[in-house]
Structure 1
């Protein structure tokens, strides 16, 4: 009985941590739009602050676990870092040029794009339910992007698509290069963006208002990553994926409450299609995993 109570408490903690992670990740859109600096500068400081905090967390975890895994990247790690840097730049730039809701919903299709890349690069079998969910979600995204052409925001939607594709590729590379320290590669990606910013922008030319928000942005990025890492250890991956989908409605609600941002009707229609596909797919995985545990 005591073991069962401990397991229930552990699972509840995992649910709280992953849900909190989704809520913190959902702040990205309003933070980006509240900062007046250009996207390169935002990505630069958000990445640097976040990377330093995450790196400190990684070394703290290594010290507690007594781990001595190598931090050497090699060409695989550097490839992951470059892809991650590109995803970070597209991520921040997309929020500057389109609705928060559009970016969040388009990014929700990343798992399906990752499944496509995994099939192309690693010949992993794609399940029928994943294919169906991917077709539906891409149809919803297509509707949103097509509608954006009439609102002057197709560039931002295009950046969101690039961000989604590069993020999906990063997911696949993590699985393909299992021996590569993925968290450290993510930190190096942030340092690459910081270095690039010194050549094409002026990272020091920020106001006190922007500096405070940039620090908060980096802190939220690190906090969300750590909450996800700790929470996902305590619950099944299918359940973590389902709860992680809450990032999309959190982002949309925050955009509405803080920025009074209301996308056009077609964005809501396309978003409903995407969210239905994502939640149905994640929910089916969760139910299947639950049935297996019960058996």
Structure 2
């Protein structure tokens, strides 16, 4: 599928909107909790990808997994951590906390790449890391006196950008050594690992048919489909465009949770989140302007 730049931009906005429905959807679950929520979403993501990927790539998708070797396995483990930590965090803390914490992914990726594969960081990126760190520190500091689950949920959410940073660094290192790692089949591996790991932790099952239906919706619409679409968009859009558009998930997710589940973000989350998102936007726009100049 070939996309024009304008269509890719529109499609990427749609992708972020699909990603953002997880928070408001989980707020309407009746009985499913914690690891059971993760199990059902990962299970339906796996089923969806087993249909979607062969339809797009044929049997080649399974050969890509086999040829990818250790790199695909490591990437799959990272995806499984992201799947699990994200959904568990949503059951412990607010949607806003989770999404703002996840927004640190690009900055964590820059740091991990600097440490392990020697990528140089521009001054603007160091400044963005410092400002975003202050924003997250402000959010964490105000939660130290809150109930344990709120702080624990934010800490669990922190695993998502950390795993994402390791994932992208592994992929970059593998490609630098001439080994191509296709991230979409790696997502399927991650869904499989997450399903197998959370199955025993999800027992005894408490989800109602209503819950299973909502989690099936998340597996297909919130993860499997946008995952494939985002890869198609990334072939057309530049990296800064993808990063900036990806931040719409934070705005859409908080707005949907506020509108659809009456979960209003606190002042500390809004202030800390504004610092994080502002630092990311400034870093990407500044870098984009330098490259064009």
TM-score if structure 1 supplies the norm length?
Answer: 0.88
Q: Is the 8 A contact 1:62 1:68 kept in 2?
A: no
Note the alpha carbon deviations across 1:67-101, whole angstroms, 9 max, x for none. 99632142222222222212221111111111111
Unaligned runs of 5+ in 1: 1-6
C-alpha distance in 2 between matches for 1:60 and 1:143: 46
Contact 2:106/2:243 (<8 A) preserved: no
SS in 2 for 1:253: helix
Partners of 2:96 and 2:265 within 8 A in 1 = yes
Of stretches 235-244 and 52-61 in structure 1, the one that deviates more from structure 2 is 52-61
Query: Are the counterparts in 1 of residues 109 and 168 from structure 2 also a CA contact under 8 Å?
Result: yes
2:279 corresponds in structure 1 to: 277
Give the equivalent residue in structure 2 for 1:208.
209
**Match status 1:87 vs 2:89:** no
Q: Is the 8 A contact 2:254 2:265 kept in 1?
A: no
Q: Does 1:20 align with 2:14?
A: yes
Task: State the alpha-carbon separation in 2 of the partners of residues 198 and 159 from structure 1.
Answer: 19
1:123-162 correspondence to structure 2 within 5 Å = 123-152=118-147, 153-162=150-159
For residues 161 and 203 of structure 2, what CA distance do their matches in structure 1 show? Answer: 27
1:4 is matched with: none
Gaps of 5+ in 2: none
Is 1:187–2:205 an aligned residue pair?
no
SS of residue in 1 equivalent to 2:6: helix
Measure, in 1, the Cα distance between the counterparts of 2:206 and 2:285: 46
How far the C-alpha of 1:48 sits from its partner, in A, is: 2.1
Q: Secondary structure at the match of 2:195?
A: helix
Deviates more, 1:12-21 or 1:188-197: 188-197
Show CA shifts across 1:206-256 (max 9, x none): 211101101111012112212212222222222222112111111110111
Partner residue, 1:119: 114
Kept in 2: contact 1:148–1:157 (CA 8 A): no
Does 2:237 align with 1:235?
Answer: yes
The TM-score, its normalising length taken from structure 2, stands at 0.89
Matches within 5 A, 1:262-273: 262-273=264-275
CA RMSD of aligned residues (A): 2.3
How many residues align? The count is: 283
**Which residue of structure 1 aligns with residue 200 of structure 2?**
199
Distance 1:33 1:164, change over 3 A: farther
CA distance in 1, matches of 2:5, 2:43: 32
8 Å Cα contact 1:44/1:190 also seen in 2 = no
Alpha-carbon deviation of 1:134? 0.9
Counterpart in the other structure of 1:98: 93
1:65-84 aligned within 5 A: 70-72=64-66, 73-84=68-79
